[in-house]
A and B are shown apart, each in its own frame.
Chain A
Amino acid sequence: MNYKVYILPLLFAMSMQSCDKRLDLLPQQQLADEIVFQNPTTAYGALIGVYSKTQNFDFYGSFPQIIGDFLGHNVNFLGTFPTIQDIQNFAAISTNANVQSLWRQHYEVIAGANKVIDNIHTTPTLTEAQANQYEGEARFLRALAYFQLSNLFSHPFQVSQGTNLAVPLVLEDFVGEISFPARSSLNAVHQQIIEDLTQAVALLPTSYSSEELTRGRATRGASLALLARIYLYRDELAQSIQAARDALAIGIYQLAPNFNFYNGNSAEDIFSIQNSAIDNGRTASGGWASYYNPAALGGRGDAVFSNELIATFEEEPTDLRYTFRLEGIATDGLLHQFTTKYPDAATNSDNAPVLRTTELLLTLAEALAKSSTAINGEALAILNEQIRQRANLPAKSISSSTELVEAILIERRKELAFEGHHRMDLLRNSQDLRSDNSNAAFGGNRTILPIPQRDIDVNEGLSGQQNPGY
């Protein structure tokens, strides 16, 4: 009987042996940091991850772009989000949750790109050519992020020749040591963008193995087209013209003969972020097709033609581009006009337009027209024989260089409406966003977004650097 006394404590003691091994559990959904750039497949995955971030709602998933359109008065935003309404009404405050999220997602793209740029050349077995291409792609995406950030959070170059504050420049891979970068000047940010794009031009191929990839991944042409745009935004016209000509000279970009090019990955497209039914930036808050379609078609019915845009089209109502609309019930329960540029509200597979040939031509025309006091014939030809003709509009007679610029800007507005350009097109031409509100006038406090209060709180470098008026 007595032996039993010892069995249990013995068993007990045996079970006490270390369970250390059982506590060594590793995540199954994530990869540990250290191994990512040790392997060409995962290193490439890290680059793809950066592209994936650009699809996000707050990057090129329509949110920054719809701000450009409703502040530019192409769009009337009827959506329910008070924080977005506040932006439209020039009444946002620095704790605005949408602005905060937008800022965050841009820096996530930048951080992802920084990781690739800093580490890709250390990856074993990756060829130099591959590493260079990946670096170029990451540089292009980083430039795109800084370009969009500076447009939203900083006054345009024209307000104070770029000496005003833009956004913090973060260019190094974050490995755990927190830095507290202050805002750099717009000129400094622009210089960095130009530097990245110039390098990308050198590093990137002009095309890939398929049309989709050529239009959906960063290329030499895309880098040049973005360079043309940033130089135009800086009134550096000669450089803008040169970049535009270089891009066109590649020979794979053509003005589409009609307006059936959306989502086509045709010669019209220079760079579009490629979405699909299973991979897109739509969230419960919105998305391209979600904003721009009435509920009956599966959208939110939030973003409709503004009366100003309708009036602009009504001046020449035979404009083919005016036919790309439909009437539907919007969020306010009333009938409004919707664009049909993003028709797939059911699966949200519409691509996000970033750079396309028409815009490149309009950029070239504007830069040409602005760079001479006489009427520039090439610019006039682009206006009348390419842009207006395709839209079924008669050639416009132009009597001065200023008139030419104005005419080009009207075409630019109508052509690129709902693609996010108009706010910057107004501001960089020293025009007001609204006539009745000093906050919305050129250089007005509320024409740009507040630096998120959250980052001012966390980052001592931003202390005292809030945009005036917020």
Chain B
Amino acid sequence: MKKQVRIVLISLFTLLNFSFAIGQQIEIRGSVSDQQSKETLAGVTISVQGTQQGTQTDERGNFSIFSGPNAQLLFSHVGYTSQLINVSNRTSIHIVLQAAETIDEVLIVGYGEQRRRISTQSVSTINESAFKNLPMQSPQQLLQGQAAGVNMINSSGVLGSEAQITVRGGSSISGGGRPLYVIDGVPLNVNGSSYSQAQGSSTNINPLLNIPANDIESFTVLKDASAIAIYGSRGSNGVILITTKRGNRTSKPRIQADFYQGISRPTALDDMMNASEFIDYRTKYLEANNLDVPTYPTTSFDWLDAIVRTGKVKNTNLSASGGNESQLFYLGGNYTQEDGFTIGNDMEKLSGRFNFEQQLSDKVKVGVNYNVSHVDMNRIGLENNTYAPITAAYLQIPYITPYDENGQFINTGFVANVLAITETGINKTVVNRSTGNAFIAWDIFKGLTAKSDWGVDRASFDSKYRSMELLSPGGYAYRNLNTDNKWLTTNTLNYSTTFGQDHNFSALLGQSFETSTLTQIIAESQGFVSDDLPNVGSGATPISAGESIYDWALYSLFARANYNYQEKYLFEASVRRDGSSRFGANKRYGTFYALAGGWILSNEKFFNKDNDYLQFLKLSASYGTAGNDNIGYYPYIGTFQGGQDYMGEPGISPSQVPNNNLGWEETAQLDIGISAKLFRVLDLQLNYYNKHTSELLLNVPYPYTTGFTSASQNVGTMRNRGFEVSLTSQNIAREHFSWTINFNIGFNKNTVLSLPTNEDEYGRNFIAGSTYQRAIEGHSRNSFYLIRYAGINPESGDAEWLDKDGNYTISPTAEDRVIVGKGDPTFQGGITNTLRYKNFDFSAFFNFTVGNNIYFEGYNFSDNIISGSYNKSQRLNDYHQNPGDIAYAPALNSVTVNSFHQHSSKLLFNGSYLRLKMVTLGYSLPQSWLQKSKVFQSARIYALGQNLWVLKDRNLEGDPEISANGASNGIIGQSFFAIPQAKSFTIGINLGL
């Protein structure tokens, strides 16, 4: 390598000398800086096109070069997109280079790094530039529409809720569906519902809540077998590696300060009846059916208006980073305060990060990455919960008011007075989490490095709930403390060498042990003498006192070897053996492996790289396996469960069926990829994959007559097949103007191949996810299985459905259900346009999903004609009155008023949408102004809008982004009443000191 550098330098020197001889030249001086950090760049190569002249920028990023007055200068630098600039008689030129996101970048992979150019793995990387300064509640949101093959659905607009992420269609049915999140080498504990009490929905507290986006350097989504096999039994749902920032060796210490502030409103709400409409409708309905009309109150209240407010967000982020030859450091601090647009939903986050690396000698290096954070949330109920603000506001009868005539709160009953709850109750969760690792690395001899890494993830979720006298006579309180504490050690040996000039070889050998303990403690009481006593201990009657402890442990050995010949022929093999406490004695250990090969055609002699069409071409293929261990703690042991007490005596009851053969779910995956650089500006990545999951971990349903609901078994197979395209096009890269397009799209077809015997009406085996959604052999894992709704018969005024043969009926039965749609999209993706003109930058990001259906259970209520116990949708006002009417709802005296609301395809909508997810406009203050200030190195102000526009099913009143079931694989695209996504506006400033 040194030799090469010397040759380059000598030749440059020669060339420079040569250029002096040519004459008729002007001297151009200038500087080059990084677009993102605004920092100057050293070592940028500047060459005069059509000549052999060239130079490099010095330590301060300055350069000087001679060229013809109308020459073109090419600025290029490793890791950056090259720019071609017309000199146009100028003698001073300042250039801003954009970081390249493409084939030259360094990839973070499992237990290491690779150059994308010579990597055979299929991964998607999202760099800081894609998410910096976004007012995002959680880092996962950064993945939406940004990575091909990654389907991310926001579960709701509630603060701190977990998003659903599926990588390449997921790989499980009953098993957990979350990808494995790894932060700086520490796999995060993600136990969802184990961390807090359910509040009406299985969406849980977001596992990444405690990691501020500003500390993140990049996300890497590992997708193909060669990338995930090294994560063995936990890889098959995909692995998301999060790398946090570290210092920069060559720069002086930098301080970065970022502030933003914004407001939010809901994107879409349903129209419900007001009091007079409701009473009018009820009266007409009761009269039409010869029922007594009661005397209705004359009061009215707009509940929806009362629970929606303008949300606010404020964020402050400060960081300092720097380094020198022996040290690197990054210090980050973040404070966010956010009030959701729904009453009662607030969040405060405070976090700090310290990343540090120290060279102890020329051979030994130590380092630490550590994050401490504190999140304080005021929680609200969600979805199927009448204590949830949005659900209660939709369902509350509009003549019921929150206050009595004296202005005091009243108890409105089962559909709760959510205003009183918010005002008087306590519903808090405090999350404290520290995640970090420390390592020592030793270069034993040239090429061989040993590294020992010790990590922890210590999370505590502390919830406090108190309901006051008015809403729970006697008062009620609970305190729930859940901690999940992990430690792990990872020890690796890395060897890399080049022999015989052309043979590049590297190998990794590693061992790790990881164990975690989840402790859940709850104390619950009632009977309070006063609302002024907020704590559980003041309650006269303790209801429950619980402690549960769950442990798991994982012991692993892994290895990987890479070989390439002249960077033309690439090979990689990896293997991992995992032993897990979660599995039966007969299946405790599992081995996973992958093999991959690649061929860089453009490095072949026959390939002429100097053409204008194709500058780089790589073919790669991989095949291998990964598993999923996400089935709880001790699912193989037959058990009796305690806590089944009677008359003060402790009892036990059967809780689990034994299965000592319970083992891994295994996903084998074939991936074929093409990477290319086209027309000098276009980076293209194409991948085809075929994932085959066997030994599916299924909760096989048992006849209830056994006394059990289901048992975990390894049965069934499933396939995900798909195609992904990622494209980055640097359309224009001039000094004052640049335009980049990032585009990605992922197609996936999920097919369940076989399941245990459990036949539907058509003889196909299935596993029910929900009452409406099931995995069906030969069809999607997320098939909606429903009675088909056919609309209102214009003549009779009856609602009609189709029976299974397609005939109209007014009394369908469960046997008339057919597959009417699916929850998983056919394709989804995103497109980002980024433009820069002089000091202005603009970017617009659209994301889209096509081919999925979404199901709104709430319509079962809001379309209920007969009940007088909750509010109704405005839709019902469009009821059939005269023969020939085309109406939404049946005639008020139709026999079908009893069944109109029932579950059918009427509640199912097309979930496809195209959304302007984000649009930003920024302005960077000119360098000349900043230099005068002598304080700031860079300054940028910007305005940003999120979810400003959406194209969706026109029959759909609500928001298409729904997912009430968290990380479930078996149920997606279902909601009761979801809090819609926020439409928000933000302004902010970035300062570099």
Task: Verify A27–B633 contact, CB threshold 8 A.
Answer: yes
Chain A 76-128 interface residues, beta-carbon cutoff 8 Å to B: 78-80, 82, 85-86, 89-91, 93-95, 97, 100, 103-104, 107-108, 110-112, 114-115
Q: Which of A16, A298, A347 contacts B557 (CB 8 A)?
A: A16
CB distance from B98 to the nearest CB of A (A): 42
Task: Verify B655–A30 contact, CB threshold 8 A.
Answer: yes
Bound: A95/B579 CA distance, A: 41
Task: Verify B642–A30 contact, CB threshold 8 A.
Answer: yes
Determine, out of A66-74, A175-183, A224-232, A312-320, the stretch whose residues face the partner at the interface.
Answer: A175-183
CB distance from B394 to the nearest CB of A (A): 12
Task: Verify A12–B511 contact, CB threshold 8 A.
Answer: yes
Q: Which of A12, A114, A216 contacts B707 (CB 8 A)?
A: A114
Bound: A155/B759 CA distance, A: 28
Task: Verify B869–A279 contact, CB threshold 8 A.
Answer: no
Interface string of B461-488 (1 = CB under 8 A from A): 0000000000011100000000000000
Task: Verify A25–B813 contact, CB threshold 8 A.
Answer: no
CB distance from B201 to the nearest CB of A (A): 13
> Is B298 in the interface zone, CB < 8 Å from A?
no
> Is A268 in the interface zone, CB < 8 Å from B?
no
Bound: A45/B544 CA distance, A: 19
Residues of B within 8 A of A20 (CB): 555, 579
Bound: A48/B638 CA distance, A: 19
Bound: A93/B579 CA distance, A: 47
Interface string of B360-377 (1 = CB under 8 A from A): 000000000000000000
CB distance from B241 to the nearest CB of A (A): 24
Interface string of B281-324 (1 = CB under 8 A from A): 00000000000101011000000000000000000000000000
> Is A393 in the interface zone, CB < 8 Å from B?
no
Residues of B within 8 A of A29 (CB): 548-550, 641-643
Given the known interface contacts A12-B450, A277-B526, the answer about A95 and B903 at a Cβ–Cβ threshold of 8 Å is yes
> Is B888 in the interface zone, CB < 8 Å from A?
no
Task: Verify A212–B647 contact, CB threshold 8 A.
Answer: yes
Interface string of A21-42 (1 = CB under 8 A from B): 0111111111111101000001
> Is A443 in the interface zone, CB < 8 Å from B?
no
Given the known interface contacts A29-B548, A32-B639, A176-B658, the answer about A80 and B386 at a Cβ–Cβ threshold of 8 Å is yes
Bound: A459/B869 CA distance, A: 37
Given the known interface contacts A111-B654, A295-B411, A346-B472, the answer about A97 and B771 at a Cβ–Cβ threshold of 8 Å is yes
Interface string of B877-900 (1 = CB under 8 A from A): 000000000000000000000110
Bound: A173/B783 CA distance, A: 36
**Of listed B513, B645, B814, residue having the most chain A CB within 10 A:** B814
CB distance from B699 to the nearest CB of A (A): 12
Q: Which of B450, B706, B868 contacts A174 (CB 8 A)?
A: B706
**Of listed A32, A100, A115, residue having the most chain B CB within 10 A:** A32
CB distance from A80 to the nearest CB of B (A): 5
CB distance from A304 to the nearest CB of B (A): 11
Residues of A within 8 A of B645 (CB): 48, 52, 279
Determine, out of B222-230, B256-264, B348-356, B412-420, the stretch whose residues face the partner at the interface.
Answer: B412-420
CB distance from A317 to the nearest CB of B (A): 20
Chain B residue nearest to A12 (CB atoms) is B491
Interface string of A342-354 (1 = CB under 8 A from B): 0001110000000
Q: Which of B513, B550, B703, B903 contacts A19 (CB 8 A)?
A: B513
Bound: A441/B532 CA distance, A: 55
Q: Which of A23, A45, A216, A307 contacts B581 (CB 8 A)?
A: A23
Task: Verify A28–B548 contact, CB threshold 8 A.
Answer: yes
> Is B657 in the interface zone, CB < 8 Å from A?
yes
Residues of B within 8 A of A459 (CB): 703, 705
**Of listed A47, A454, A455, residue having the most chain B CB within 10 A:** A454
CB distance from B513 to the nearest CB of A (A): 6
Interface string of A274-298 (1 = CB under 8 A from B): 1011110000000000000011111
Given the known interface contacts A93-B814, A329-B413, the answer about A26 and B637 at a Cβ–Cβ threshold of 8 Å is yes
Interface string of B767-811 (1 = CB under 8 A from A): 010010000000000000000000000000000000000000000
> Is A458 in the interface zone, CB < 8 Å from B?
yes
Bound: A15/B651 CA distance, A: 44
Given the known interface contacts A94-B814, A277-B526, A294-B413, the answer about A168 and B860 at a Cβ–Cβ threshold of 8 Å is no
Task: Verify A19–B541 contact, CB threshold 8 A.
Answer: no
Chain B residue nearest to A91 (CB atoms) is B898
Task: Verify A45–B708 contact, CB threshold 8 A.
Answer: no
Residues of A within 8 A of B386 (CB): 80
**Of listed A27, A36, A298, A301, residue having the most chain B CB within 10 A:** A27
Interface string of B243-272 (1 = CB under 8 A from A): 000000000000000000000000000000
Bound: A52/B580 CA distance, A: 35
Bound: A213/B647 CA distance, A: 8
> Is A55 in the interface zone, CB < 8 Å from B?
yes
**Of listed A26, A296, A334, residue having the most chain B CB within 10 A:** A334
Bound: A97/B511 CA distance, A: 48
Determine, out of A1-9, A186-194, A233-241, the stretch whose residues face the partner at the interface.
Answer: A1-9
Residues of B within 8 A of A470 (CB): 813-814
Task: Verify B646–A52 contact, CB threshold 8 A.
Answer: yes
Bound: A346/B412 CA distance, A: 16
Q: Which of B413, B653, B705 contacts A112 (CB 8 A)?
A: B653
Residues of B within 8 A of A45 (CB): 640, 642, 644, 650-652
Chain B 812-833 interface residues, beta-carbon cutoff 8 Å to A: 812-814
Chain B 689-706 interface residues, beta-carbon cutoff 8 Å to A: 701-706
CB distance from A455 to the nearest CB of B (A): 5
Listed in ascending order, the chain B residues whose CB lies under 8 Å from chain A are 292, 294, 296-297, 386, 395, 397, 399-400, 411-415, 442, 444-445, 450, 472-474, 489, 491, 493, 511, 513, 515, 526-527, 541-544, 548-555, 557, 579-581, 588, 633-634, 637-658, 701-709, 757-760, 766, 768, 771, 812-814, 860-861, 864, 866-870, 898-899, 901-903
Instruction: List 7 extra interface pairs beyond A48-B646, A277-B541, CB under 8 A.
Output: A9-B493, A15-B511, A29-B642, A30-B634, A212-B647, A298-B473, A332-B868
Can you report 5 A-B residue pairs in the complex whose CB atoms are below 8 A from each other? A20-B579, A29-B642, A111-B706, A333-B297, A346-B472
Listed in ascending order, the chain A residues whose CB lies under 8 Å from chain B are 4-5, 8-9, 12, 15-16, 18-20, 22-34, 36, 42, 44-53, 55, 78-80, 82, 85-86, 89-91, 93-95, 97, 100, 103-104, 107-108, 110-112, 114-115, 168, 170, 174, 176, 178-181, 212-213, 216-217, 274, 276-279, 294-298, 300-302, 307, 329-334, 345-347, 452-455, 457-460, 470
- The 9 A-B residue pairs whose C-beta atoms are closest, nearest first, are A111-B707, A48-B651, A295-B413, A49-B653, A30-B639, A33-B638, A51-B646, A49-B651, A298-B473
